[in-house]
Amino acid sequence: MEPRAVGVSKQDIREQIWDYMESQNLADFPRPVHHRIPNFKGASHAAEQLPRLQAFKTARTIKVNPDAPQKSARFFVLESKKTLLVPTPRLRTGLFNKITPPPGATKDILRKCATSQGVRNYSVPIGLDSRVLVDLVVVGSVAVSEKGWRIGKGEGYADLEYAMMVSMGAISKETPVVTIVHDCQVVDIPEELVEEHDITVDYILTPTRVIATGCKRPKPMGITWFKISREMMEKIPILRSLRAREQQAGKDVTLQGEHQHLSEPGRQQTVPLSVGRRPPDTPRSEANSVEAARGSPPGEGAPLAADVYVGNLPQDARVSDLKRALRELGSMPLRLTWQGPQRRAFLHYPDSATAQQAISCLQGLRLGTDTLRVALARQQRDK
């Protein structure tokens, strides 16, 4: 039975979809699907609908998000000899990478180019001055309605990518948007949950259906600067460049909190932060980190509130296995202390809030057949 979105908030709907997909075993690696765009079973079959769309046939340049369920979509773009643009993860190093397969690439090579590793190995960055024009946008979703309302995983990157493309003139309000999801992700979404900065979609592709939404709601017309925090500006350098350009053009680029006295009294605007995001580099004593990983006694060198214990590692696990899982979850620490013989590791984050977010994201993580134990290192020591 497919779920119906009855929650009163976007997060209610996300949790309902994530819980349902896990309980019905509808997802592939990485698991669990919580806090991510689900890599659902049948994603490649759903993506086979993409080349049949007229919007795809006429497009020359297509932007596809970097998530796992859109791997086949990226392959079909390359196989059709169209230009493939993939956003950089969390926009840390720019906006787009243009995927450039080697000359004479076979289908096997193109499939490698469509993977996350291939995107890193076979790409060149596209700058703000590239004058790129995108003819079709493919995004991932956690939930979507037949009316075209879309809910992502809550970090806002897809909406921000779209707004940035508008601001740099890469897309227009006529540029079609496609999402590829499992049938169970197509649910009722109350229109009152759709905000001004949210992307709407024109086509929904599932393993069994092609839905033309006919959505008439206007798409975002650029970056909503008062929704952008100082912290987000620091994490995304290209935002600073775009803001400077728009400020020079005379646009209002006031950031969140810059004029809080104009806001509704008692109400603080917030931008959702990445769950399990990669923290910024923050210096911390290497000696303290190593002592914390060894479980030093209370006092100097004791486990810090920002250290996370990971236990029950498989006996044959390698540090690369854990790092890969952490990258997939977007939870890479500042440093990682590996203690394979003891079947444990310690992750060192810059502050307790980031550590707690990482713990939430890592709950239920499996390496092989073993479910890992995750807790604050200090709590684990006390036990």
Q: Is the pLDDT of residue 383 over 80?
A: no
Do 10 and 135 form a contact (C-beta atoms < 8 A)?
no
Do 96 and 128 form a contact (C-beta atoms < 8 A)?
no
Convert the pLDDT of each residue in 110-137 to its tens digit: 999 999 888 888 988 887 777 889 999 9
Here the tokens at position 136 are 């079709």
3 state DSSP class of 106: coil
Convert the pLDDT of each residue in 287-329 to its tens digit: 333 333 333 333 334 456 689 999 999 988 888 888 888 877 7
Q: Does domain 306-376 have CATH number 3.30.70.330?
A: yes
Q: Does domain 10-212 have CATH number 3.40.50.10420?
A: yes
Output 362 or 286, whichever has higher pLDDT. Answer: 362
Domain definitions of the chain by residue range = 10-212, 225-258, 306-376
Query: Which residues are CB-neighbours of 6 under 8 A, at least 6 positions away?
Result: 12, 16, 188
Question: HSE on the CB side for 157, CA within 13 Å?
Answer: 26
Maximum distance among all alpha carbons in the chain? Answer: 66
Q: Is the pLDDT of residue 4 over 60?
A: no
Highest mean pLDDT among 13-22, 287-296, 353-362 belongs to: 13-22
Convert the pLDDT of each residue in 156-209 to its tens digit: 788 888 988 988 889 988 999 999 999 999 999 998 899 888 999 999 999 999
Whose tokens are 């004058």? That residue is 131
pTM above 0.75, yes or no: no
How far apart are alpha carbons 98 and 83 in whole angstroms?
A: 7
